[in-house]
Chains A and B, each alone.
Chain A
Amino acid sequence: MIVKLSVKGLHFSYGSAEILRDVNLDIRDGQVVSIVGPNGSGKSTLIKCIDRILNPSKGEVIVDRQKVSGMKQMELARMIAYVPQNSLRVFPNTVFDVVLMGRRPHLGWREEARDEQKVWEVLGLLGIEDLALSLFTELSGGQQQKVLIARALAQETGVILLDEPTSNLDVWHQIDVMEILRTLVRSQDLTAIIAIHDLNTAARYSDTIIMMKGGKIFAAGRPEDVLTSENLAAVYGIHARVRNYDDIPHVIPLKQIPRKRGRV
């Protein structure tokens, strides 16, 4: 087993509020890993700390046996790509330009034929060549998500981090994006780490699920081991039934567990 990425004793705080507390992780090569947990449990923060968009107060992230803290931002950008939940849309960019941005860590001042070819290649991989000259701002949510994934692929990294890639999409596009990700992970030898809310989507497409609660990892492992009624009760505070369907666990939420008095 090759460890692609490991996180050791990671802490992060905003002012006095501790968001992440002693997070430890080892993630293998060629996997789809989902991070689940309630709002505010630290999923997105963990992803941002891995890519050093946020600076952890303690702890270390190691990619391909190299410490992230010792790297320049540009070097890190050649090893880890990040797909934000949505993109700022102040100035109009074409899809081609947006994807070409992903080549930035690999080029100097001018892009070369090779970079443009790479852009066309990833656009083809996602089946969106025909959108190349459209304006990013004018695309639908699903198309925008694909463009952002294409940009991350153009970065040619071993690890891709995604921050809730499916939360704004309809069911068809959710399946579309997750199928694409799984196919890419298998064919391009990638590791994808996804912060995600939808437990059933996570169960269906992930090799590993990491369940977080209050800035700590509560459980980690194969979907069927993590998504249990007991864990869901402890982490989400809900009664839920978990049924296997096609060997994939399926969560059926029933009702909230009444909270004890004195707790908010």
Chain B
Amino acid sequence: MATLILASGAIITIGPMPITIIEVYCTILDKFVPGIFSIESMINTVVWQIRLPRVAGAISVGLGLGICGCVMQAVLKNPLASPFTLGISSGANFGVSLAAVFGITILGGPYFLIGNAFVFALLCSGVIIGLSGLKGATSETMVLAGIALNYLFQAMNQLFSYIASDEQRDVMRIWGMGSIGGLNWNSIMVIAVVSMICLPLLYSKAWDLNLMTVGDEAATSMGVNAGHVRIFVLVVSSLLVAALVAFVGVIGFIGLVAPHVARLILGSDHRYIIPAAGGLGAILFLFADVIAMNLFSPSTIPTGTVMSVIGVPFFLYLILRGRRKEYWS
């Protein structure tokens, strides 16, 4: 937590416009206790309107995706489960394409892209959750179904890009790569409110998730209604994921990697690894975003892309080095 505050402070200073770390903290404090420091209005604008929303967005999105990945892996008993592999992100992506190319929208107004993304993300998780209610559906079935949906939506997107105009294709492309550049204080408020409702609900199931990692039958015999917990966790986490990806687009890797790193460090108790996965998700995403913003400065590359380019080698290193203690030993 302290690392996060310090890192955020430092990260705000990096960017096309030089600002010192002291100035950053002064600017932030000034908002709450006006008149103590003398702040240039230029710095004030940059910090409050550009840098801080980005940092706050990165933290809340990383936190949410990390935790959702962690609980999804536990209830599906599959180390491959994540918001991305279950097809929720690509569902949202499909919704955006549909809106961009055909103008088919569920919600009107300025939020029509986000509205569509949200609805299609929910639709996608609805299919997965519906599957889990079927008799004989195992957690493998659900992960397979998610991956299948992933392919379907990707294919649809490619199909759309044939008939789309250049302008429409740009919307699809940028959204598909995932970026937090479009976040403002309003969207961050929405994300924060949804997170504040969903995350405690997920965390309250930490003990049940511990038991479920050893199998549904054993969990049931120890007093956990495995079926109910699975559906509850999937519903709550897909709601949160839908809200996140609706604003920031497809960001694949973080929900997979953050929980695994948390497990490598802290073991298997979900009372500890749920918050750890969230914290790691936030930190990873923050760093990915700094690089995205500054690598080809002044132009900004999508955070999702950076995340995968840096994250994948790092993740491979971790699982290979930690093999002895891991799942596929």
Whether the Cβ atoms of A77 and B218 lie closer than 8 Å is: no
Q: Given A84-B215, A90-B79, A135-B325, does the pair A104, B224 have CB atoms closer than 8 Å?
A: yes
Distance of A48 Cα from B215 Cα, bound (Å): 14
Is there a chain B Cβ closer than 8 Å to A31's Cβ?
no
Distance of A90 Cα from B209 Cα, bound (Å): 13
Chain A residues whose CB sits within 8 angstroms of the CB of B221 once the complex forms: 51, 53, 77, 80-82, 84, 161
Which of A95-103, A124-132, A216-224 lies on the face that meets chain B?
Answer: A95-103
For residues 76 through 133 of chain A, which have their beta carbon under 8 Å from a beta carbon of chain B?
A: 76-78, 80-82, 84, 87-88, 90-94, 97-98, 101-102, 104-105, 109
Whether the Cβ atoms of A101 and B220 lie closer than 8 Å is: no
Is there a chain A Cβ closer than 8 Å to B223's Cβ?
yes
Whether the Cβ atoms of B223 and A97 lie closer than 8 Å is: no
Distance of A53 Cα from B271 Cα, bound (Å): 25
Whether the Cβ atoms of A98 and B220 lie closer than 8 Å is: no
Chain A residues whose CB sits within 8 angstroms of the CB of B73 once the complex forms: 91
Q: In the assembled complex, how far is the CB of residue A191 from the closest CB belonging to chain B, in whole angstroms? A: 15
Whether the Cβ atoms of B214 and A52 lie closer than 8 Å is: no
Is there a chain B Cβ closer than 8 Å to A256's Cβ?
no
Distance of A78 Cα from B221 Cα, bound (Å): 9
Whether the Cβ atoms of B215 and A92 lie closer than 8 Å is: no
Q: Which of B74, B213, B214, B225 has the most CB of A within 10 A?
A: B214
Q: A-facing mask of B194-211, CB < 8 A → 1, else 0?
A: 000000000000010011
Q: In the assembled complex, how far is the CB of residue A212 from the closest CB belonging to chain B, in whole angstroms? A: 20
Which of B54-62, B86-94, B103-111, B262-270 lies on the face that meets chain A?
Answer: B262-270
Chain B residue nearest to A81 in the complex (CB): B221
Whether the Cβ atoms of A77 and B223 lie closer than 8 Å is: yes
Is there a chain A Cβ closer than 8 Å to B41's Cβ?
no
Q: A-facing mask of B270-281, CB < 8 A → 1, else 0?
A: 010000000000
Q: Given A74-B223, A92-B325, A93-B268, does the pair A101, B217 have CB atoms closer than 8 Å?
A: no
Distance of A94 Cα from B268 Cα, bound (Å): 8
Whether the Cβ atoms of A98 and B222 lie closer than 8 Å is: no
Q: Given A90-B77, A90-B327, A94-B268, does the pair A53, B214 have CB atoms closer than 8 Å?
A: no
Chain B residues whose CB sits within 8 angstroms of the CB of A57 once the complex forms: none
Whether the Cβ atoms of A109 and B207 lie closer than 8 Å is: yes
Q: In the assembled complex, how far is the CB of residue B166 from the closest CB belonging to chain A, in whole angstroms? A: 46
Chain A residues whose CB sits within 8 angstroms of the CB of B214 once the complex forms: 87-88, 93, 98, 101
Partner of A93, one of B213, B217, B329: B213
**Main SS class of interface, A:** mixed
Chain A residue nearest to B76 in the complex (CB): A90
Distance of A84 Cα from B211 Cα, bound (Å): 13
Q: In the assembled complex, how far is the CB of residue A145 from the closest CB belonging to chain B, in whole angstroms? A: 13
- Cross-chain pair count, CB within 8 angstroms: 87
Chain A residue nearest to B217 in the complex (CB): A53
Q: A-facing mask of B109-142, CB < 8 A → 1, else 0?
A: 0000000000000000000000000000000000
Distance of A105 Cα from B207 Cα, bound (Å): 11
Is there a chain A Cβ closer than 8 Å to B170's Cβ?
no
For residues 301 through 329 of chain B, which have their beta carbon under 8 Å from a beta carbon of chain A?
A: 325-327, 329
Q: Given A92-B325, A97-B268, A101-B222, does the pair A82, B217 have CB atoms closer than 8 Å?
A: yes
Is there a chain B Cβ closer than 8 Å to A22's Cβ?
no
Whether the Cβ atoms of B213 and A88 lie closer than 8 Å is: yes
Q: In the assembled complex, how far is the CB of residue A65 from the closest CB belonging to chain B, in whole angstroms? A: 21
Chain B residues whose CB sits within 8 angstroms of the CB of A78 once the complex forms: 223
Whether the Cβ atoms of B325 and A104 lie closer than 8 Å is: no
Q: Given A91-B213, A93-B268, A137-B329, does the pair A53, B79 have CB atoms closer than 8 Å?
A: no
Q: In the assembled complex, how far is the CB of residue A238 from the closest CB belonging to chain B, in whole angstroms? A: 31
Chain B residue nearest to A77 in the complex (CB): B223
Chain A residues whose CB sits within 8 angstroms of the CB of B213 once the complex forms: 88, 90-91, 93
Chain B residues whose CB sits within 8 angstroms of the CB of A102 once the complex forms: 222
Distance of A206 Cα from B194 Cα, bound (Å): 57
Q: In the assembled complex, how far is the CB of residue A107 from the closest CB belonging to chain B, in whole angstroms? A: 8
Chain B residues whose CB sits within 8 angstroms of the CB of A208 once the complex forms: none
Whether the Cβ atoms of B79 and A104 lie closer than 8 Å is: no
Chain A residues whose CB sits within 8 angstroms of the CB of B79 once the complex forms: 90-91
Q: In the assembled complex, how far is the CB of residue B89 from the closest CB belonging to chain A, in whole angstroms? A: 23
Chain A residues whose CB sits within 8 angstroms of the CB of B215 once the complex forms: 84, 87-88
Q: In the assembled complex, how far is the CB of residue A44 from the closest CB belonging to chain B, in whole angstroms? A: 10
Distance of A3 Cα from B1 Cα, bound (Å): 56
Is there a chain A Cβ closer than 8 Å to B161's Cβ?
no
For residues 1 through 55 of chain A, which have their beta carbon under 8 Å from a beta carbon of chain B?
A: 48, 51-53
Distance of A91 Cα from B77 Cα, bound (Å): 8
14 new A-B contacts at CB < 8 Å, known A77-B221, A92-B267, A101-B222? A48-B217, A72-B223, A73-B223, A75-B223, A78-B223, A87-B218, A88-B215, A91-B74, A93-B213, A98-B214, A101-B210, A104-B223, A109-B207, A135-B325
The 3 closest A-B pairs by CB, nearest first: A77-B223, A82-B221, A88-B215
Residues of B within 8 A of A (CB): 73-74, 77-79, 207, 210-211, 213-215, 217-218, 220-225, 263, 267-269, 271, 325-327, 329
Residues of A within 8 A of B (CB): 48, 51-53, 72-78, 80-82, 84, 87-88, 90-94, 97-98, 101-102, 104-105, 109, 135, 137-138, 155, 161
Provide a sorted-by-A list of 15 A–B residue pairs whose CB atoms are within 8 angstroms: A51-B220, A52-B220, A73-B223, A77-B223, A84-B215, A84-B221, A90-B327, A91-B74, A92-B268, A92-B326, A93-B214, A101-B214, A105-B222, A135-B325, A155-B222
